[in-house]
Chains A and B, each alone.
Chain A
Amino acid sequence: MINETYNHLVSKLVEKTRENKVNWQPTVNSDAFAVYFQNFSLAISTEYDREADNSSVVVVLRNQEGKEIDQFAVSSGEANFEELIELYSSARRKALKIDEAVQILLKELTGDKPIGLDRPLGEDTSSAKDDLPF
């Protein structure tokens, strides 16, 4: 259960992320994504507890020295979990530019041109002939 302030913060973040107005970025932790402000940052990540077979979403606030100043976690079954999972998925899609990649793919697929490169870039087919032993 998260407090009223964070509840409001999460709702606003979900809303702005849906509108594609939050600049989520990947982090050194491949399961965490962050948004940076002038003097602090907010990161969202997921954790899985194998023993309890329980997933949770963790939100961490950091100050201008990168130190953690507050965090809250919401586990599956608790209030706000669905909302936070949606936020995490959206942040991930935005940070990894998944939607852009899918859009480009769809654009390619709807065209008449052949799809994809015919061979990896830089591969020289003429060298294959030189590999013949005679």
Chain B
Amino acid sequence: MSAVEVISIAGSMLSFLGVLIAISQIRKTRRAAEAAQNATDKTQKLIARNVLLQDISACTTAIEEVKALIRSKRYEASLLRVTDLNTQLIRLRYLKSNDAGLADIPFQEIVTQMSMLREMLEQSLNQKTSDLRPAHVNGILSRISDQLNAWIGKNRYVAKEGASND
């Protein structure tokens, strides 16, 4: 075997080794890119969930405000607050983000109750007499608030658990 042939075979073997190293590096790079993408997705989901938690939490605060306003028979202020609350709930409903677990919130019930309350408040303001029973209304609002708080509790725990796994 001549020196040229030996060099040629050695060159071919080194080239093959180079190709193997290149494939390995490409795979490593792809895995790193996928891991980075997964981490980004997880972080985005966590941020979205935290924003959602704050939004739902704001709804429960608004419900408590409505309860206080109804208790003190400030129906005009209650009406404004209920209208805002309903708008916020409808927006949240249309997020349709199943990842965020919004399906657990009984939106149809809450939105219906808020619309009925809005109508009753309108009637109370127009007729100057009221069929609105504050204790009953606030009982229903408390139940809605409890449902939202239960969702917050459940999802806050999940969010923290997700964060600690990363």
Footprint of B on A, CB under 8 Å?
A: 25-32, 34, 36-41, 43, 62, 64-68
Contacts and interface: CB of A to CB of B under 8 A. Distances in A.
Nearest to B110: A66
Contact of A39 (B108, B116, B140, B141): B108
A29 B90 CA distance: 21
The interface centre, meaning the residue of A31, A41, A64, A66 with most chain B CB atoms within 10 A of its CB, is A66
Interface of B: 86, 90, 93, 106-109, 111-117, 120, 131, 133, 136-137, 140-141
Contacts of B137: 28
A29 B139 CA distance: 11
17 contacts: A27-B140, A28-B140, A30-B136, A31-B131, A32-B116, A36-B106, A39-B108, A41-B112, A62-B115, A64-B93, A64-B107, A64-B108, A65-B86, A65-B90, A66-B112, A66-B113, A66-B115
Contacts of A64: 93, 107-108, 111
A48 B133 CA distance: 17
A65 B116 CA distance: 11
A101 B166 CA distance: 50
A43 B108 contact: no
Contacts of A62: 112, 115
B91 to A, nearest CB: 10
A65 B90 CA distance: 6
A45 to B, nearest CB: 9
Contacts of B107: 64
The interface centre, meaning the residue of A28, A29, A43 with most chain B CB atoms within 10 A of its CB, is A28
A36 B93 CA distance: 15
A50 to B, nearest CB: 12
Nearest to B115: A66
Contact of A28 (B86, B90, B108, B116): B116
B78 to A, nearest CB: 11
